[in-house]
Structure 1
Amino acid sequence: MIVRIMGEGQVEISADDIALLNQLDSELESAIEADDEENFRVRLHALLDKVRHVGKALSDDSLEPSELILPPADASIEEVREMLGDQGLIPG
């Protein structure tokens, strides 16, 4: 799965890592629902850090279509709230 972190680039994520990313996504959603800015910031950074850690960075000149688009690390709680779908940022 190809994932784009806005403002950073793309990474390729293994299907084996989706369950862990979904757990982090659920925690992020909970922080947003609670309107807990501090917890939101921690959860957003945890999700993005894990994507960076488990993902294999694609070169800047790669033109792969992104299956998922994640917000940048400095996104506001409102910006991320608007990006959430029925299944969060990471479906599954």
Structure 2
Amino acid sequence: MIVRIMGEGQVQISAEDIAVLNELDNELEAAIEVGDEPVFRTKLHALLDKVRQVGKALPDDSLEPSELILPPADASIEEVREMLGDQGLIPG
């Protein structure tokens, strides 16, 4: 799966890593639902860090279509709330 982190580039993640990313996504979504800014910020950074850790960075000149688009680390809680789908940022 190709994931784009806005402002950073694309990484390829394996299907095996989706479950861990979904757990972090659920925690992020819970923080957004209650409007807890400090927890939101911690969970957003944890999710992005995990994507960077498990993902293989694609070259900057790669033009692969992204299956998921994640917000940048400095996104506001409102910006991320607008990006949430029925299954959070990461479906599955």
TM-score, with normalisation over the residues of structure 1? Answer: 1.00
Seq. identity, %: 85
Alignment of 1:6-85 (within 5 A): 6-85=6-85
Aligned counterpart, 1:89: 89
CA distance in 2, matches of 1:53, 1:19: 14
TM-score, with normalisation over the residues of structure 2? Answer: 1.00
Shift of 1:22: 0.2
Write out the 4+ residue segments of structure 1 that deviate beyond 3 Å after TM superposition: none
* Structure 1 residue ranges without an equivalent (≥5): none
Aligned residues: 92
CA distance in 2, matches of 1:62, 1:77: 30
Shift of 1:60: 0.3
* Structure 2 residue ranges without an equivalent (≥5): none
What is the root-mean-square deviation of aligned Cα atoms in Å?
0.2
